[in-house]
Structure 1
Amino acid sequence: MNGNGTIDLAFWQVASAYLFILIVWIIIRIKKIPREKLIVIATLRMTLQLILVGYVLIFVFKYPNPFVTIGIIFFMLGFAILNVYQRTKPAIHISFKKMIAFAMVIGTSLSMIYLVFVVLRLDPWYEPRLFIPIGGMIIGKTMTGVALGVNNLLNGMKQEQDRIEAALMLGATPKDASKSIINQAFDAALLPTINAMVGMGIVFLPGMMTGQIIAGQSPLTAVKYQVAVMLGVSGTVAITILVFLQLSYKSFFTDRKQFVLTKRDLPSDAKPVKYD
């Protein structure tokens, strides 16, 4: 144990934790689940990525710079956006991808600005020891929420095609015809965050709070930071998925209020919808 009360793990202690992955690998091998290669690759990637990030953060913490800090956040955000693309089935059109990226940039940026300048009041505002971990938590949770929202919107539009077309024929606007699907997609995106909030403190101690306690901070100080960040996470997910849904549902309709699932279904003279 160090002088500040933290525990510095030796190399052999970290190596011994890989026993858990070995157990996982043996179980899926016995059950003949074809995931052995994926488990090995994921473990190696996690290890190498975290080691690399550790060395990068040592440098960033030692020489704090606003451009470097912001650059790291946007790099993380870009990687999260790519992950959303990969998690989305079926393949989505480029315009849909732009909507996802725009919504994630807007939602994350607005929330981080408010958290940093109003709630946390970091001094300096780009303090990397707090800015980067908090940004990473928000981006990670938002990535999961948006991926759920996108998939639920696509699945809902496909499954409810007949109902939507019937509503349009009866005079409903595209917004009204899609309302229930949009609401379901929003609910699906936000539900994991709400469930996590419900279980915090009783079922489990969240990551940021645990990290601060291990680092020697007072549990009450850790609680205050965790509450602020978790509220920021919920707000970011809500803002991001709201922006995305309000933009994306229109891509399923033409200016003639015709429902289309893919761009290939568009009539040759159709134009993107321009109404709310």
Structure 2
Amino acid sequence: MDSTIDMLFWQLAAAYLFVLLLTVIVRIKGIPREKEIFIATVRMTLQLILVGYILVYLFEHSHPFYTSLLVVIMLAFAIRTIIKRAKVKLSRRMKRIIAFSMTSGILLSLICFIFVVLRLSPWYDPRYVIPIAGMIIGNSMTGIALGVNSLIEGMRSQKDKVEAALMLGATPKHAAQDIVNKAFDAALLPTINSMVGMGIIFLPGMMTGQILSGTSPLVAVEYQIAIMLGIVGSVSLSVILFVQLGYQTFFNRHSQLDL
């Protein structure tokens, strides 16, 4: 098969025309997003260039410490992003629950994927571990972020309903059950929608990248199915841990609602 096309600098620069188009559209519509678009574009570019050089070094100097360290850094930044993007200021307890849920769900899924699904040898091969960890962490971050905002919004908007249930003798778990279930559903919905449209409506990034690099489409499909199932597992574990522990932060030790 043909080798991957190596883009020249001007070809890559031409892709930024799409950002220019977006900026023009939001300006015409009077939406004050130009600054955010500019910052996001610059950050994306610098971050990807930096990661590119880091990966080149890792691939040439494969070591379990370097691979593990990069996964930990990615996870830490994901947790920080969730906390920063929350609609309200989070309590210290809620932050700890977010960190615990993310770490547990992601590491369990990643370990299973590396040692059971792929059976990597060596297990720390950065060519596999880093891209897979990135996809799992990124999707879990999106799920937890949606779960956080949905849970907070639900507890605040349905405060009267929860308090009424508590007055009638319900436990905090039963009083918040509907809110917890809706938060879990909201967090999982984007992942389910991706699975439904995958292959028919769009080709996912990992599969597209492999095909562009010359890999057989059938092999790319196998990897994509495996990683998608790994993502589902990670998002499910992370979110269920969060919602089952997170709702408890809205109640005090006397089982009273405390927002």
TM-score by length of 2: 0.98
CA distance in structure 2 between the aligned counterparts of 1:170 and 1:218, rounded to whole angstroms: 62
Matches within 5 A, 1:47-86: 47-86=45-84
Q: Which residue of 1 aligns with 2:148?
A: 150
Q: Which residue of 2 aligns with 1:141?
A: 139
1:31 to partner: Cα distance: 2.1
CA distance in structure 2 between the aligned counterparts of 1:77 and 1:239, rounded to whole angstroms: 15
Matches within 5 A, 1:1-276: 5-261=3-259
CA distance in structure 2 between the aligned counterparts of 1:147 and 1:215, rounded to whole angstroms: 33
1:252 maps to a residue whose letter is F
1:123 to partner: Cα distance: 1.2
1:4 to partner: Cα distance: 5.4
1:77 maps to a residue whose letter is L
CA distance in structure 2 between the aligned counterparts of 1:49 and 1:113, rounded to whole angstroms: 26
1:166 to partner: Cα distance: 0.8
CA distance in structure 2 between the aligned counterparts of 1:183 and 1:203, rounded to whole angstroms: 29
CA distance in structure 2 between the aligned counterparts of 1:175 and 1:54, rounded to whole angstroms: 46
1:85 maps to a residue whose letter is I
2:46 maps to a residue whose letter is L
Bigger-Rg structure (1/2): 1
The answer for unaligned runs of 5 or more in structure 1 is: 262-276
State the secondary structure of the residue aligned to 2:253: coil
Q: Which residue of 2 aligns with 1:273?
A: none
CA distance in structure 2 between the aligned counterparts of 1:244 and 1:108, rounded to whole angstroms: 13
1:37 to partner: Cα distance: 1.5
1:150 maps to a residue whose letter is V
What's the CA shift string for 1:29-75, capped at 9, x where partnerless? 22222111211111111111111111110010111111100110110
2:5 maps to a residue whose letter is I
CA distance in structure 2 between the aligned counterparts of 1:260 and 1:193, rounded to whole angstroms: 32
RMSD over aligned CA atoms reads 1.0
CA distance in structure 2 between the aligned counterparts of 1:248 and 1:47, rounded to whole angstroms: 35
Q: Which residue of 2 aligns with 1:271?
A: none
State the secondary structure of the residue aligned to 1:91: coil
The answer for unaligned runs of 5 or more in structure 2 is: none
TM-score by length of 1: 0.92
CA distance in structure 2 between the aligned counterparts of 1:150 and 1:53, rounded to whole angstroms: 28
CA distance in structure 2 between the aligned counterparts of 1:29 and 1:176, rounded to whole angstroms: 48
Q: % of aligned pairs identical?
A: 58
CA distance in structure 1 between the aligned counterparts of 2:98 and 2:212, rounded to whole angstroms: 36
Paired residue total:
259
CA distance in structure 2 between the aligned counterparts of 1:242 and 1:37, rounded to whole angstroms: 36
